[in-house]
Amino acid sequence: MSAKEKIRVATLWLSGCSGCHMSFLDQDELILDLAKKIQVVYSPLVDTKTFPENVDVTLIEGAVANEEQQNLLKEVRAKTKILISLGDCAVTGNVPALRNAWEDGGKLALERAYLENTEVNKQIPRAVPALLDKVRPLHELVKVDYFIPGCPPSASVINYALTELLAGRTPNMEGRSKYG
């Protein structure tokens, strides 16, 4: 099968810890079967800087915490046929959404990170993307086609979902354990 015929897959890392991407890689030898059928066209694992057109499947780790991520998510949605919300941060907001408990949690988070927890150069950098008032799970901002919950999600469930999609079948995620 040539690279042209392969399924174009992207992965994206928003506000998350990278644990979901580690789980993706934890598919062990099963990932070798996938590798024969997919071409990774955008990912923290590859060097492409611009999200490409005509992506077949995109898996997104992490919640949406700032305007830059919100804009990227909308661009990705417009360029992707099947979008998968990967892991509890993407599915529910999870850890990044803890700041939602406070009225101005974004401001408090910046102050905590850049003013309270540092001894030198206490200042909030201007280059930090503007934070959203609340951290959002993906489906509150764009249409999501499939959800793979878990913190991190199970490597075997990720493999099941991708294998089914690559075979042109609809993965049945109902009742599937978060932990494989």
Choices 14-22, 114-122, 134-142, 162-170; region in contact with ligand SF4 by CB under 6 A: 14-22
Q: Are 80 and 57 in contact (CB under 8 A)?
A: yes
The reply on whether position 159 binds ligand SF4 by CB under 6 A is no
Among 89, 97, 132, 144, binds ligand SF4 (CB under 6 A): 89
Choices 33-41, 89-97, 112-120, 122-130; region in contact with ligand SF4 by CB under 6 A: 89-97
Is the CB of 105 or the CB of 150 nearer to ligand SF4?
150
The reply on whether position 20 binds ligand SF4 by CB under 6 A is yes
| Distance from C-alpha of 146 to C-alpha of 160, rounded to nearest angstrom | 12
| Distance from C-alpha of 21 to C-alpha of 146, rounded to nearest angstrom | 17
Q: Are 63 and 136 in contact (CB under 8 A)?
A: yes
Q: Whole-number minimum distance, CB 89 to ligand SF4, in Å?
A: 3
Structure tokens belonging to residue 148: 């793979």
Residues facing 171 on adjacent strands = none
Q: Are 24 and 45 in contact (CB under 8 A)?
A: no
Q: Whole-number minimum distance, CB 96 to ligand SF4, in Å?
A: 7
